[in-house]
A and B are shown apart, each in its own frame.
Chain A
């Protein structure tokens, strides 16, 4: 589209305004994290003119931002000490992402390259496992996990998150493999490579961008999942979304702490996204332009 300079400026302006509207709730949430408790409910809402302080963060992470206020390091402790929970979240998200990407890569390579009877139906079946209401999965899982001792373990949560992400991952990755010409496989076949060598040395590296995009989506969905973690964990681990309900207490909600955790929890995921942003955008077409 050819645009005049004025049109470009207008377009950029509108774009900035729209994104600002979307970013605003995040800014608001950040202010809540930095506000003194009292100001959170002040009317009219205080959006900038309050004492920025780190109290909420100090409680949530058990560290003092002493370099700012000349305070000593605080020991962790208390109900709202969330650093280990952030760690739990990262472990769960990273490993469930790894697991689902590995499984889905294998499966979608086969779906893309080998002839399978009723392939369309199989893929639809895979997709349909995502259609189950989470509560319907949670109860049976609870009993399986109980029997296999997976309750309240990292492995258990990682497995169920991997499952949850498989349909999307298979769908995405298959489209990426479909984009890679089959002749590459054939050339390698003639060169003497086995299927697995072709997959590992040739095709998977070529689909790396797509795999990265898939990984980001899996990471996000695992990072934000609530009901499975709630049902399948007890005291040994908890991820951020579930632990955020700890702030809802019988004498009120600790909004500042919740916001501090929310803001802090955005960072790891956002860093992950930034690292692969280019691939993400390409990846999300789901290969659907190829008929």
Chain B
């Protein structure tokens, strides 16, 4: 081993402080994060807070076609909101849609994730194929399922009628009892793979040791799943529920394309209702009020959820 430093400038070491020059002092440890956050905050201010305040402003005004302008209406829109059976109906549809889709996508996603969580040959390909559903725009997915669920020409009623699982009419999207399920089908098809991806990733990251020792202890697969997998995955599941839940609650594309909210109001969601009030009926103030109400509900629910599940960032 050679202990002598090479000759030359380096021997004296890197000159850090010249003699007599006071070291620079800086608040490096309490580095201000704000420079780093500035672009994000700027974006959020312009694109999130401004729309929020604008909507609050709108909710106290209404567009008057005659004047081609806004008119102050006070609390009228909010009054109308709480008295509007269509709005409450939409809220109910939105909540049932969100909760049912969420439940099915979680359970199905977990089941498929367990199925696909394998290093055997071919499983990588299967996981890859499954992600294909994600790259199709929901607007096109909606059209696709509209075609497949058509009572007359659709593949799905054709098959269901063929195997006797459905009565002769074959109507899905025009049947008030089935329409929401028909829309959900598209959502579930498209987004279950998203859940599968998240869960597979979560499963892959689980430590092996607890499972091995549980196996030695003689636990059954089901016991291991309930006692080990689920608790260890709880954080992943919570985040998946949160992110997916938010998107489900705002869902617009499928109903817009597939049912226009029908039959009747069976598939009217809050997003669609807000859209219609805003663009079809030119009630901007009321549309904004509905949007704010929807935002309020989802923020409250999400907050409770985060509190209950103790999610922390």
Question: Which of A's residues lie within 8 Å of B, judged by CB?
Answer: 1-2, 8, 11-12, 14-16, 18-19, 22-23, 25-26, 28-29, 32, 40-45, 102-104, 106-107, 109-111, 114-116, 119-120, 123-137, 139-141, 143-144, 159-160, 162-163, 166, 168, 170-171, 174, 189, 195, 220, 223-227, 240-242, 244-245, 253, 255, 258-259, 261-262, 265-266, 269-270, 273-274, 277, 280-286, 288-289, 291
Whether the Cβ atoms of A273 and B47 lie closer than 8 Å is no
B182 within 8 A of A: no
Secondary structure dominating the interface of B: helix
Contact between B138 and A226 (Cβ–Cβ < 8 Å)?
yes
Q: Are B118 and A133 in contact (CB under 8 A)?
A: no
Would A166 and B116 count as touching, CB distance under 8 A? no
Which residue on A lies nearest to B203, using beta carbons? A285
Q: Are A103 and B39 in contact (CB under 8 A)?
A: yes
- Cβ contact within 8 Å between A131 and B299: yes
* Cβ of B168 to closest chain A Cβ, rounded Å: 14
CB distance from A99 to the nearest CB of B (A): 9
Q: Given A136-B51, A273-B131, A273-B135, A107 and B40 touching (CB < 8 A)?
A: yes
Contact between chains at A135 and B274 (CB < 8 Å): yes
- List 10 A-B pairs, Cβ < 8 Å: A1-B211, A11-B115, A41-B153, A123-B313, A129-B48, A137-B48, A226-B253, A262-B144, A273-B131, A289-B232
Q: A131-B295, A277-B128 are in contact. Are A114 and B31 (CB under 8 A)?
A: yes
20 new A-B contacts, CB < 8 A, other than A109-B36, A288-B235, are A12-B123, A16-B122, A18-B115, A116-B33, A124-B302, A130-B246, A134-B252, A136-B55, A136-B291, A140-B51, A140-B54, A141-B47, A159-B47, A163-B48, A168-B243, A174-B313, A242-B139, A245-B139, A266-B135, A273-B131
A283's closest neighbor in chain B, by CB? B201
- Pick from B5-13, B99-107, B192-200 the stretch touching chain A: B192-200
Select which of A25, A32, A126, A128 is within 8 A of B189 by beta carbon.
A25
Q: Please report the C-alpha to C-alpha distance between residue A9 and residue B203 in the assembled complex, in whole angstroms.
A: 21
Question: Contact: A26 with B139, CB < 8 Å?
Answer: no
Residue contact A131 to B302, C-beta cutoff 8 Å: yes
Given contacts A45-B158, A195-B31, A286-B239, contact A19 B129 (CB under 8 A): yes
Chain A residues whose C-beta falls within 8 Å of the C-beta of B148 in the assembled complex = 25, 28
Least CB distance from A38 to B in Å reads: 12
B278 within 8 A of partner (CB): yes
Bound-state CA distance A111–B128 (Å) is: 32
* Contact A286-B198, Cβ < 8 Å, known A114-B33, A132-B52: yes
The 3 closest A-B pairs by CB, nearest first: A136-B291, A110-B36, A241-B137
Beta-carbon contact of B252 and A288 below 8 Å: no
**B270 cross-chain contacts in A, Cβ below 8 A:** 133
Say how far A182's CB is from chain B's closest CB, in angstroms.
12
- Residues 121-148 of chain B, each 1 if its beta carbon lies under 8 Å from chain A, else 0: 0111011111111111111100111011
Name the distance in Å between A40's Cβ and chain B's nearest Cβ.
Answer: 8
Return the contact of B138 from the options A29, A126, A241, A288 (Cβ within 8 A): A241
Closest A residue to B249 using CB positions: A131
Asked if B189 and A133 sit within 8 Å, CB to CB, the answer is: no
CA distance A123 to B31 in the complex (A): 19
Using an 8 Å CB-CB cutoff, how does the interface string of B247-273 with A read, 1 for contact, 0 for none? 101101100000000000000001100
Q: Which of B37, B270, B313 has the most CB of A within 10 A?
A: B313
Distance, CA A2 to CA B250, complexed state (A): 43
**Given A26-B132, A130-B246, A288-B236; A171-B313 close (CB under 8 Å):** yes
**Chain A, Cβ-Cβ closest to B211:** A1
Interface code B20-34, partner A: CB below 8 Å = 1, 0 otherwise?
A: 000000001011110
**CB closest chain-B residue, reference A245:** B139
A128 and B302 in contact, given A11-B118, A19-B129 (Cβ under 8 angstroms): yes
**Alpha-carbon distance A133/B120, docked complex (angstroms):** 42
Given known contacts A43-B158, A45-B155, is B306 in contact with A133 (CB within 8 Å)?
no
Which of chain B's residues has its CB closest to A123's CB? B313
Q: Are B48 and A132 in contact (CB under 8 A)?
A: yes
With known contacts A135-B271, A270-B132, A15–B126 Cβ distance under 8 A: yes
Residues of B within 8 A of A245 (CB): 139
**Contact between A224 and B126 (Cβ–Cβ < 8 Å)?**
no
